[in-house]
Each structure stands twice: as C-alpha cells, then as structure tokens.
C-alpha cells in the first residue's frame, strides 16, 4: 500500500491543484458581471466534453482495458523494442476515429433538425467536436498506457491541471474582449490535442514510445483473449461513458443549451467529491492487475478495504464542506442568479458520488480479474436504468429528475458489484468503521451549522470550513478509522518540523 499511497497522494495533489484552477475557470464562466459568458456558451463547452467522451467510447474499441490487463505480460516477457502493444492500440483507435467521423457526417442532418431550435449554438459549432474528440481519444489511450506503466502522475497532471490552465489562458482574452466567442471555442476544441502531444513527448523521453508492427510472441499467445476481451469491453466502455454523459445531452435536447450549462455547473460542484476516487482508481489498476496475475488475494482484499474507508471519509468531508458553504459562497462570489438556487440538486448529485466512492475500487477489481465480463453486464444494467429514468424524469422534474435518476442507478449498479465480489471471493468493503465515518461527518456538520449560524461572508466560509475539517478530521484520527490517516498526519508533522 505504500507505493499506492504515495502515488495516490501525488496524483490527488495534482488533481486538487487542477481543481483550484478549474474552480477559477468555472467561476469566470458563471460570474455575474457584464461581458461574462452566457449559460448557453458555458453549456456548449460542457457539451463538447460530453461528446468528446462519446467519441472516445466509440473510437477506442476498448483498447484501454487491453493495456491495463495485458501490458504486464508484455513487460515481463519482451524487450522494449519488441513490445508491439502500443503500436497496435494506436492503429486501432485511428481506424475507430475514422468510423466516428463518418458517422458524424451521416447524422449531421439529424443533429441540425433536433437541436436547431433550442440549442442553435451547438449546431453552429457541431463540426468542431471532432477535433476535440480526436484529442480526447488519443490522450486517453496514452493516459491508459501511462497508468499501466505505473507512470500516472504526469498524465494525471496533464488531465487535471494543464488542460485547465490552457482553458484559463483562453478565458481571460475573451473576458477582456481581445477575442470573440468564435475564436475562443475553436481554440477550446484543440486543448486535448495539445496535451496528447505533451504526454507523447514525456513518454518518448523515457523511451516508452517505440512503435513496431512486428507481431510479438506475446501478441500471438494472447490475441484470441484480447479480441474476446475487446468484444465485450468495447461495449462496456460505450455503455459506461454514454451513461455518464447522456444526461447533459438529454437536458440540452429537452430543455435547451442554457439548462445544460446550469446542470453542468451543479455537476461540477458535486464532482469535487470524486476527485480522490479518480486518483486512487488510476493508481490501483496496475497493482490490481499484477496481483491477479500473481493470484495475491490478500493484496486485492486489502486494497478493496482501504480504498473504501479512505474514499468514504474523504468524500463525506467534501460533501459536508459543500453543504455548509454553497449558498454563502454563491453570494460572496457573485455567481449568476441562474446558478444560485441549486443546493438541493448538488446535494442529490453528491449523495450519488458518495455511494460510488464509498464502495471502493470494486469496478477496477472486477475489470482486472478473469471475470471482467461481469463489468460489462453491470454496465449494461447501468445504462438500461439511467437513460430511461432520465427520459422519464427530466421532462417532468427538470434537473432534479436527472439527479434522482443518478442516485437510483448508481445504488443498484454498485450494489450488484458488491454482491458479486462478496459471493465470488468473499470480499466486501464495509466494516463498522464505515458507519462511524458517516456518523462523525453528520455530528461535525450539525455542530458547525449551529455554531456558525450567525456568520456571513468570508468569515463564514473560513470558520465553517476550518471547524468542520478540524472536528471531523480529529474524530477520524482519534478513532483510528484508517491507518492511512495517521500515517499521513505523521508525514505532515514531520514536514512542518523541518
């Protein structure tokens, strides 16, 4: 766990620094002042993200999972110059992107008819989603390769930090009226191409990018298994990403691009809860893959337990901070009125993310095991729940309906995966400490809410945050809910003393 903890801390720091930059970017998008972005313009940037993820889903042919699962065999049995896995993966996604572009061209008339009335801005810039998606596709594949190599820190920095800095560099010229929105969105569409190039140069410097199309002995040995895995994983990737991204597109279709922008802001705030989960997942994947290869069930079970309690504690803490500060922060930072009344929706979305984080890395455990097909089946279930629920609830209840659909589908999705791991391997993530973590968070919240009721402005934000983190963090340390908390606290004290 030491190496995992170190990389997770470094990745989390990169992610949180990126989130600080991202928070500033989001504020600049939604601030209430003359010359600011409209909700529709902000919504278009978020729709680009959703469509880019879908281009990755359809164009990748599931090669990321191949990299995670089989790269250890290539590294253990081949010299670097004989490793042909990356070359075949890059060729595969190039072909996949060509098919996506063809499909986008064929369906363009339908897109124009569907979105011209309520989301005209999307129709105007529809073709620019393809260079955006191309960057997402190639960066994501190289990122998966980096994770499988156990070099995930720099790729995490690029995804979570460098991309947000790139966007910030575009925002300020727009707000200063040095460029118009047309120039802004076209440069915005190139952000992932730039970061993909940066990651390729990083890997090249470390001599990880040698490309050969000479079929290796490992490819010949595992090609049938890889094709079989791609057959199911490809569908699973499509299902997973469509399930994650389709709500924004449905909101754009039913309510318009402005509502999609408002919902994207609520979703951004709630997604802060999942920052630690994303870093832990990327770090644990190669270790889980190696543990399955070595049949080391003790390590797998330990990772499952520790990630569950750690992520439950951190996600509960972030959720409490959001609940305590959302309304006051919206007033202090002069957020546009359209975004200020969304605390209830943010809290619903936050509950879904606590559920997903608190169940640990169950998806990664299944996905790197010989039962990876089950991950596909649960993905089918998630999609079969989320899309119909959104279609049913969004027209009737608006953004709240989408949040409720999110909670229900994730409860069922994670519950089934937990039951599978419990029955198949006798593993489950929770102990009595999981309940204590939630109780401590609730008690700390009530104490802070009562004691700071009369505070407003910056003093309120500071006092509520410091008190809540102090009370909750102190309870976690005193009760020894997780050994990682004590070790991290000891490391901080040593650094301070120096």
SS (H, E, C) 5-58: HHHHHHHHHHHHHHHHHHHHHHHHHHECCCCCCCHHHHHHHHHHHHHHHHHHHH
At 247 the pLDDT is 77
Structure tokens at 154: 């720099």
413 burial (CB, 10 Å; 0-12 / 13-18 / 19+) is: buried
Would you say 272 and 319 are in contact if contact means Cβ atoms under 8 Å apart? no
Q: What is the DSSP letter of 207?
A: T
Which region, left, alpha or beta, applies to residue 31 given φ > 0 means left and ψ of -120 to 50 means alpha?
Answer: beta
* Helices and strands, number each (H, E), in the chain: 23, 0
Q: Which residues contact 64 (CB under 8 A, 6 or more apart)?
A: 140, 141, 144, 237
Contact yes or no for 54/237 (Cβ under 8 A): no
pLDDT at 32: 66
Give the residues across from 31 on adjacent strands: 335
Give the Å distances, CA to CA, from 344 to 102, 348, 420. Answer: 41, 6, 33
Question: Of 281, 218, 270, 214, whose CA–CA distance to 244 is shortest?
Answer: 270
Phi, psi of 262 (to 5 degrees): -65, -45
Pull the structure tokens for residue 105: 């061209």
User: Do 235 and 375 meet the contact criterion of CB atoms below 8 Å apart?
Assistant: no
CA–CA dist 483, 55 (Å, integer): 41
pLDDT of residue 386: 85
What SS3 class is residue 212?
coil
> How long, in residues, is the chain?
498
pLDDT digit string, tens, across residues 215-245: 788 888 877 777 777 776 677 677 777 777 7
Give the pLDDT of residue 441. Answer: 93
The pLDDT of residue 495: 47
> CA nearest 17: which of 168, 193, 195, 190?
168
Q: 497: exposed, middle or buried (C-beta count within 10 Å: 0-12, 13-18, 19+)?
A: exposed
Report the chain (498 residues): mean pLDDT per 10 consecutive residues: 54 68 86 74 89 87 79 76 82 91 89 79 91 92 83 79 91 89 94 93 85 80 77 71 76 82 87 80 78 84 86 91 90 82 87 88 83 79 85 87 89 90 87 89 93 86 92 88 65 50
- Alpha helices, DSSP H, located in 272-361: 275-293, 297-332, 337-340, 343-358
Residues 430 and 426: their CA atoms lie apart, in Å, by 12
Domain boundaries, the chain: 2-430, 431-498
Confirm if 308 and 37 have CB atoms less than 8 A apart. Answer: no
Write the CB contacts of 37 (distance below 8 Å, at least 6 apart in sequence).
28, 29, 30, 174
Alpha-carbon distance values, 219 to 208, 225, 273 (Å): 18, 10, 40
> 313: how many CB neighbours lie within 10 A of its CB?
28
pLDDT tens figures, 287-306: 888 888 888 888 888 888 88
Reported as half-sphere exposure (CB side, CA atoms, 13 A), residue 382 has a value of 30
Q: By the 8 A CB rule, do 47 and 121 touch?
A: no
Q: What is the 8-class DSSP label of residue 1?
A: -
Question: CA distances (Å), 341 to each of 330, 336, 384, 405, in order?
Answer: 9, 10, 30, 20
pLDDT for res 128 = 93
């Amino acid at each position: 766990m030491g190496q995992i903890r170190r990389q997770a801390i470094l990745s989390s720091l990169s992610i949180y620094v990126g989130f600080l930059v991202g928070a500033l970017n989001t504020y600049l998008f939604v601030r209430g002042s003359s010359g600011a972005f409209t909700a529709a313009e902000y919504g278009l940037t978020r729709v680009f993200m959703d469509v880019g993820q879908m281009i990755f889903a359809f164009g990748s042919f599931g090669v990321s999972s191949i990299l995670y699962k089989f790269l250890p065999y290539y590294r253990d049995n081949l010299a670097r110059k004989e490793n042909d896995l990356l070359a075949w993966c890059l060729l595969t996604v190039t072909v996949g992107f060509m098919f996506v572009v063809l499909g986008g061209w064929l369906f363009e008339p339908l897109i124009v008819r569907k979105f011209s009335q309520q989301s005209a801005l999307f129709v105007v810039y529809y073709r620019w989603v393809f260079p955006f998606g191309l960057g997402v596709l190639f960066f994501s594949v190289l990122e998966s390769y980096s994770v499988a190599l156990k070099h995930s820190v720099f790729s995490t920095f690029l995804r979570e930090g460098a991309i947000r800095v790139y966007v910030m560099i575009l925002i300020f010229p727009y707000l200063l009226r040095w460029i118009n929105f047309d120039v802004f969105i076209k440069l915005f569409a190139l952000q992932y191409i730039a970061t993909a190039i940066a990651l390729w140069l990083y890997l090249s410097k470390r001599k990880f990018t040698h490309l050969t199309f000479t079929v290796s002995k490992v490819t010949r040995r595992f090609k049938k298994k890889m094709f079989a895995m791609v057959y199911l994983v490809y569908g699973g990737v499509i299902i997973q990403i469509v399930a994650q991204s389709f709500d924004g597109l449905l909101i754009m279709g039913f309510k318009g691009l402005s509502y999609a922008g408002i919902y994207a802001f609520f979703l951004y705030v709630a997604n802060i809860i999942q920052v630690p989960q994303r870093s832990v997942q990327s770090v644990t994947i190669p270790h889980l893959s190696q543990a399955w290869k070595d049949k080391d069930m003790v390590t797998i079970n330990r990772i499952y337990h520790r990630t569950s309690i750690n992520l439950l504690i951190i996600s509960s803490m972030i959720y409490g901070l959001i609940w305590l500060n959302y309304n006051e922060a919206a007033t202090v930072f002069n957020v546009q009125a359209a975004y200020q009344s969304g605390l209830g929706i943010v809290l619903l979305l936050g509950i879904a993310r606590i559920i997903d984080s608190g169940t640990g890395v169950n998806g990664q455990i299944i996905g790197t095991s010989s039962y990876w097909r089950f991950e596909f089946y649960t993905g089918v279930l998630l999609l079969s729940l989320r899309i119909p629920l959104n279609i049913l609830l969004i027209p009737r209840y608006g953004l709240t309906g989408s949040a409720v659909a999110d909670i229900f589908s994730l409860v069922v999705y994670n519950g089934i995966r937990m039951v599978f791991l419990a029955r198949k391997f006798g593993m489950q993530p929770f102990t009595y400490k999981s309940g204590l973590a939630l109780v401590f968070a609730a008690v700390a919240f009530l104490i802070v809410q009562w004691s700071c009721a009369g505070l407003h402005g910056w003093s309120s934000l500071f006092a509520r945050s410091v008190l809540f983190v102090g009370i909750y963090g102190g309870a976690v340390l005193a009760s020894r809910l997780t050994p990682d908390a004590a070790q991290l606290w000891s490391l901080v004290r040593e650094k301070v003393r120096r």
